[in-house]
Amino acid sequence: MVLNEEKMEPATQNVALTIDQMRSLMSLGMNCDDASMVYHPVSQHCNIFNLRVTNIEDRKDFWDNPRRVAIVGEDYYNRVYGRDVPAYTADDILRKIPKEIAICGIKHRLFFTTRSVQGNPEYQASYNFANDDGKMVSAINNIWKSDSFLLLLYGILVWSITNKHLPL
């Protein structure tokens, strides 16, 4: 899948977060080197990126050898591999977001639901706890909703980071 950095296609959101979303996560302080995909420039002189399945940590280990960089040239490495942007999939984010958080000393668990809105799925999520009667209660005002499961997870991840429920 080839994408222009300035014009992200909506279909991309079904596979991985966009380059801008990933850069936003990194600006919040998240180390995204564990992403299972990467946006890699098609060539060293353009802003068109290829979405690839890759292990960024393995690639960094490969390029940590100064002899390899010397062979291709440091300038070439920086213009091509130095511009790689990690890309989280839904599975990557599910491994990151907290399944349980504590609010005012009460443990809240993350719950997902799906409902149909005019024949289209709407994904919802919230952190809830059981009250004394065993009924589930949402103690926080954030109930995330989206027609894209990936975007729903992204919203939870950003909220978790900004509210310090996710150690960086």
153 versus 43: the higher-pLDDT residue is 153
Mean pLDDT in residue range 45-62: 78
* CA–CA gap between residue 62 and residue 126 (Å, rounded): 41
pLDDT on residue 134: 72
Q: How far is CA 11 from each of CA 1, 2, 85, 92, rounded to the nearest angstrom?
A: 10, 12, 18, 18
C-alpha closest to that of 98 among 113, 109, 114, 112? 109
Q: In degrees rounded to 5, what are phi and psi of residue 96? A: -85, -45
| pLDDT 10s digits, 64-119 | 788 877 787 777 666 666 778 999 999 999 999 999 998 888 888 899 999 998 99
| pLDDT 10s digits, 112-145 | 999 998 999 999 999 888 777 777 776 566 689 9
Residue 158 has pLDDT above 90, yes or no: yes
Q: Given phi > 0 = left and psi -120 to 50 = alpha, else beta, which region is 164?
A: left
pLDDT on residue 4: 46
Percent of the chain with pLDDT over 70: 83
pLDDT interval class at 155 (50, 70, 90): very high
Residue 24 has pLDDT above 80, yes or no: yes
* CA–CA gap between residue 113 and residue 100 (Å, rounded): 16
pLDDT on residue 88: 96
pLDDT on residue 21: 96
pLDDT averaged over the chain? 82
